[in-house]
Amino acid sequence: MKNNTADVIVIGAGIIGAATGYYLAKKKLKVYVLEKEFPCFGSTGRCIGGIRQQYTHPLSINVMKESVKIFSSLNKEFGKDIEWFPGGYLFLAHSEEQKNTYLSTIQIQHKFNLPVRFISADECNNIVNGINTEGLLGGAYCPTDGQANPFAVTYGYLQRIKELNGKVFTNSNVSKIKTSGNKAKSVITNCGEYFAPVVINATGSWAKHVSKMVGLDVPIEPERHESLVTEACERLFDPMLVDYRSDGCYFIQNYGTGHFIGCYTPVPNNPGYDRRASSEFITEMPRRMSRLVPRLKELKVIRQWAGSYEMTPDGNPIVDKTPVEGFYISAGMCGHGFMFGPALGKYMSELVTTGKTSLPLDDFALNRSFGKAEAMK
């Protein structure tokens, strides 16, 4: 096989491209990963590392159960620490309406044997010592959710691709995808042409542009989300705290370092690729965090940044083959791509090599109606 020819070309070296490339390389395929900048340049390098199974969509729950299984095995698989820590997720309820929503989502989650419970405000305080219980009615708590380090996981997968005879090309911008008789044939980059019968679009919020290269219109749009990290401190509590009020936020104490890292979802949302940090966020976010846990007021913020969620109309990813033979899409993760990455990488490797997946991914199909929205977005 020539140096510019592979079995599979994966476009994009974020978590999705890295995980997908690895599971394909493990199946003895020669994998080239082409990245226009460097690994984790996109959303993956801007994410806060949260991993949860608390969804309402059956497929998302099943995907996340598999991902959690994989995350817990990656230290062994990579021979290095990915900082996986099952510290749980605690979704807080400050209204009867929110509480009732969680009570009904828990019923769905129990059908999938997730150990989620609705716990009282006192129990919340046992788990998150010093949480502000004023107006708090309790929370939905899943102790097997957790966190990991997005850089360690992505670089871990890329390293294993290289060890399995694959290559990772950085600063290689794909500008054209060539087809022959409706079959993927090669991709053109600023560094030359690379050939493969299979091309996977794992370009996150850029997936719409890359799909256009083969004439496909894919409904994935970027949306700006901001984040910050505080100085480190001794361990205060384990779970990701999620406050779904319109002026709420979500944050977690990083297991490896002790920093607190978090975001909020802006209302209204901010469509587009703007990755500038804002003064509004740096003013609001510390206020929202310390409203939930007052002693966080003592911590200083050390950095803020912004990145893109890759939104589809129903809040679920697109993971599918396409009408162009050999051209696949795994993108549009809607802000959950880090946690979905390991399982979706595995399932995409099955789709490419056998034409089907061990977990049916119909609800993530390219031609679905996009009518069933995820309630726990």
Ligand X SMILES: Cc1cc2nc3c(=O)[nH]c(=O)nc-3n(C[C@H](O)[C@H](O)[C@H](O)COP(=O)(O)OP(=O)(O)OC[C@H]3O[C@@H](n4cnc5c(N)ncnc54)[C@H](O)[C@@H]3O)c2cc1C
* Number of neighbouring beta carbons within 10 Å of residue 267: 9
At position 9, the amino acid (one-letter code) is I
Binding window for ligand X (CB under 6 A); candidates: 6-14, 98-106, 131-139, 360-368: 6-14
Based on CB atoms, which residue is closest to ligand X, 112 or 151?
A: 151
C-alpha R_g of the chain: 21
346 in contact with ligand X (CB under 6 A)? no
Nearer to ligand X, 271 or 294 (CB): 271
Judged by DSSP in three states, 22 sits in: helix
Nearer to ligand X, 205 or 349 (CB): 205
Q: Cβ closer to ligand X: 304 or 353?
A: 304
Question: What sign for the dihedral angle of Cα 115, 118, 122, 127?
Answer: positive
* Contact track, ligand X, 179-218, x by CB under 6 A: -----------------------xxxxx---x--------
Q: How far apart are CA 92 and CA 251, in angstroms?
A: 12
Q: Say whether residue 148 binds ligand X (CB under 6 A).
A: no
The answer to whether residue 155 forms part of the interface with ligand X (CB under 6 A) is no
Q: Which of these segments, 28-36, 101-109, 192-200, 362-370, binds ligand X (CB under 6 A)?
A: 28-36
In sequence order, which residues have a C-beta less than 8 Å from that of residue 72 and are 6 or more positions away? 84, 86
Q: Does 9 bind ligand X (CB under 6 A)?
A: no
Give Cβ neighbours of residue 344 (< 8 Å, ≥ 6 apart): 16, 19, 20, 63, 67, 317, 319, 330
Rounded distance between C-alpha atoms, residue 50 and residue 338, angstroms: 8
Which one among 6, 9, 10, 16 touches ligand X, defined by CB under 6 A? 16
Q: How far is the CB of 189 from ligand X (least distance, A)?
A: 7
> For every residue of 240-263, which 3-state class applies, written as one string?
EEEECCCCCCEEEECCCCCEEEEE
Nearer to ligand X, 137 or 264 (CB): 264
Name which of residues 215 to 274 contact ligand X (CB under 6 A): 225, 227, 263
Report the C-alpha gap between 23 and 84 in whole angstroms: 19
The distance from CA 345 to its chain's CA centroid, rounded to whole angstroms, is: 12
The one among 10, 24, 29, 34 contacting ligand X by CB under 6 A: 34
Report the interface residues with ligand X, using CB under 6 A: 11-17, 34-37, 41-44, 46-50, 173-174, 202-206, 210, 225, 227, 263, 307-310, 331, 333, 335-339
